[in-house]
Structure 1
Amino acid sequence: MSVPEHITTWRDARFDMPVGRQLERYNELAAKNASARARAELVARGVYDPARHGAEERPALTVDEHVELLALAECVARTVRHPSNVHHALLAGVTWTQIAHVVDSDELTVRRAYRQWAEDQHDLNQRYPDRGMTAEEYAAASARVAEGAGDTR
């Protein structure tokens, strides 16, 4: 798989490389950025010592690399924060209270987000029957949203 010289949007990262490679590249750019900023800070304070801190150059990130770092961060966040994780947690027995606590939100908000995701999955299944949630799966997801809650609209 070839990787573009710079990833310019989260969609580019999503479609051009697996998440493991995204994390590697993100870490590479973040480390380069931290190293350059640390050296600049030491120089600005007047305490930079090449013998102690290393004499090699540590160039700052380019504008393109900053864009790539932002795009990769967004892609990784969207990938690992995917709504299907809530779905699988619910199927495994995790409660709405636990989910809300973990994602630092409230139950009503997480229930609404899950319901919207389920609706989107059901709509997807209507267009592409081999994808998304079937009518039965959607009904079960809707019942999960309503369990133990008042109206979540």
Structure 2
Amino acid sequence: MPDFKQWKALQVSRPGDVPAGTPLSWQADKASEHAMRVWDNHLPADFPHPVERGTAHDAVAELALRESIRREVEYGRGTRVHTALELGATWAEVAAALDISPDDARALLRQWADGQHHLYLSYQEQDRKPLGISPDEHAAIISLTERGDDEGRSAR
């Protein structure tokens, strides 16, 4: 992750230009700056205040940053579902927060857990320090999908 000064100077034209771990708030701020310059192109030429007109780079950077944000948000859904359940939320609450059915929320958690478990196993097979979730952690997470829709952890 870059420090803030490095981040401000970084030129972004693809989602992959955003370093891993860059806070979403930094990405949103940079996307907004580009968007404002693009929006300023709609102001009349005789606008009474100074404006900074946007360029194609601004439009592309805004697209790339928004895509990076979308991917980060999408990628983190499984982690956030798991955390909510571990803290005592019910499947009904999690599903409502995602605006999906409890069964779809369970499927989301299963898919995320399976992907994290696959990552763990592939690292282990390569004799690398495993990332992801171990077989025991995977089993514990999958067991959460067996809770009823209104069943949460008792200690909330």
TM band (smaller chain): 0.7 to 0.9
Aligned length, in residue pairs:
136
2:99 alignment partner, SS class: coil
Asked if 1:23 corresponds to 2:28, the answer is yes
Per-residue CA distance 1:73-121 (angstroms, 9 max, x = gap): 1212332441211111111111111111111222122211110110011
- The residue aligned with 1:77 is 70
Q: Contact (CA 8 Å) 1:14, 1:75: kept in 2 or not? A: no
List runs of 5+ in structure 1 lacking aligned partners: none
Deviating more after overlay: 78-87 vs 119-128? 78-87
Q: Which residue number in structure 2 is paired with residue 111 of structure 1?
A: 106
Q: Which has the higher helix share?
A: 1
Give the 5 Å matches for 1:3-82: 6-15=11-20, 18-19=22-23, 20-37=25-42, 39-40=43-44, 50=48, 54=49, 56-59=50-53, 61-81=54-74, 82=76
Deviation for aligned residue 1:33: 2.9
Q: Percent identity?
A: 26
Give the structure-2-normalised TM-score: 0.73
Which structure: larger Rg?
Answer: 1
Q: Distance in 2 between matches of 1:110 and 1:10?
A: 27
Deviation >6 Å, runs of 4+: none
